[in-house]
Structure 1
């Protein structure tokens, strides 16, 4: 029984546990992206940003991945506030990518292929509006591509349940606290990383070999 309880402590991503371990850092203004002319931005929310960040950091053509909060109603949110599920923010990543090396459509395919877009406000054991599936588009072209991709996978019946992924205009993106950045790379032996993120990376490496760095 003790072993089972020990495992469960690592399986569930506990907001309370993290707050005790890490110091909260509040940001006074949203992240400012200094983008070169040949690069573009994509913003995805697909559950825990530790997972999505680890996935897209391995993709060829991706220059940078930042974990943060977007889509909410208050300014300068902290992780503690996000965990309440009352701010409206989603855990999200902002991807800087080179479209000559990786197309936005390919990013969409990887996004949908590495999380469950049919579960409302949850991914596995992570439950709450902050874990919702949502695409935040930065251009009209991104909007159309995202909507068309959803129509395609629904037409092809790739999932047995309806897609609940929202497509919304990009709004202010706040960078998460420093300890969230590159979390998997720094904590790959941690229980949540081993039991939740590692299997996602195995799937990525199996089905998207041509897209890897």
Structure 2
């Protein structure tokens, strides 16, 4: 796969196992790299996140953002926000401008104020191999059943047209 021909965006939103599974389930997403992302200045520390490589002809940046906002706790600050930043990491000024406008527009879908911030992408460190593709390797593990399956069920209910067929038939999320 030639990732140079794909668009990319990075998301942080709670545990990267959950975020990874959400984006792996989407049509048009070619690769999800799970790991740790840093930004600059006050946000230079690494936080759990994923880089999503996608084909914009199959799924748009705004749909990716909307799904991200609805599949993690994007509305509350908590003591672990440094490790689990509610974030969108951008790679260009144009992307930053578009996504800030979309983030403002999506605020209307939520009762509480979004805490999700847009940051410039600085560095990425990949997770160790044993925890990458966590859901795909371990769909029956208790963590997956408790935390990931509800997110995937939400996607099936609200974004079914964007879900890859392999996820729509999963017995783990369709008991």
Compute the TM-score of the two structures, normalised by the length of structure 1.
0.70
Q: What is the CA-CA distance between 1:144 and the residue it aligns to? A: 1.3
Match of 1:129 among 82, 98, 101: 82
> Is the Cα contact below 8 Å between 1:68 and 1:173 reproduced in 2?
yes
Unaligned runs of 5+ in 1: 1-32, 74-86
Report if aligned partners of 1:121, 1:132 keep a CA contact under 8 Å in 2.
no
Give the distance between the partners of 2:36 and 2:26, measured in 1 at CA. Answer: 22
Shift of 1:50: 0.4
The separation in 1 between residues aligned to 2:36 and 2:64, in whole angstroms, is: 19
CA distance in 1 between counterparts of 2:24 and 2:60 reads: 15
Number of equivalent positions: 161
Give the aligned partner of residue 83 of structure 1.
none
Cα shift readout 1:64-122 (whole Å, capped 9, x = no counterpart)? 0110101168xxxxxxxxxxxxx821100011111111111111111112112111246
Query: In 2, Cα distance between the equivalents of 1:58 and 1:175?
Result: 20
State how 1:115-194 maps to structure 2 within 5 Å: 115-121=72-78, 127-154=80-107, 156=108, 158-194=109-145
Regions of 4+ moved over 2 Å:
33-37
Residues of 1 paired with 2:121 and 2:81: CA distance? 20
Q: Which residue of 1 aligns with 2:59?
A: 102
CA distance in 1, matches of 2:11, 2:150: 20
By how many angstroms is 1:128 displaced?
4.5
For 2:3 and 2:103, the matched residues in 1 are separated by 28
Q: CA RMSD in A?
A: 1.9
C-alpha contact 1:67 1:93 (8 A) present in aligned 2: yes
2:151 and 2:157 map into 1 onto residues whose CA distance is 10
Q: Which has the larger radius of gyration?
A: 1
Distance 1:192 1:91 in 2: 17
Task: Tell me the secondary structure at the aligned position of residue 129 of structure 1.
Answer: coil
Give the TM-score of the pair, scaled to structure 2.
0.85
Which residue is 2:16 aligned to?
49
Query: Which residue is 2:30 aligned to?
Result: 63
Cα pair 1:136 1:168 within 8 Å, conserved: yes
Aligned to 2:156: 205
Which whole-Å CA distance do the structure 2 matches of 1:197 and 1:129 have between them? 21
For the 8 Å contact 1:61–1:97, the answer to whether it is kept is yes
Alpha-carbon distance, 1:160 to partner = 2.2
Q: Which runs of 5+ in 2 are unaligned?
A: 165-175
Which residue of structure 1 lines up, in the alignment, with residue 3 of structure 2? Answer: 35
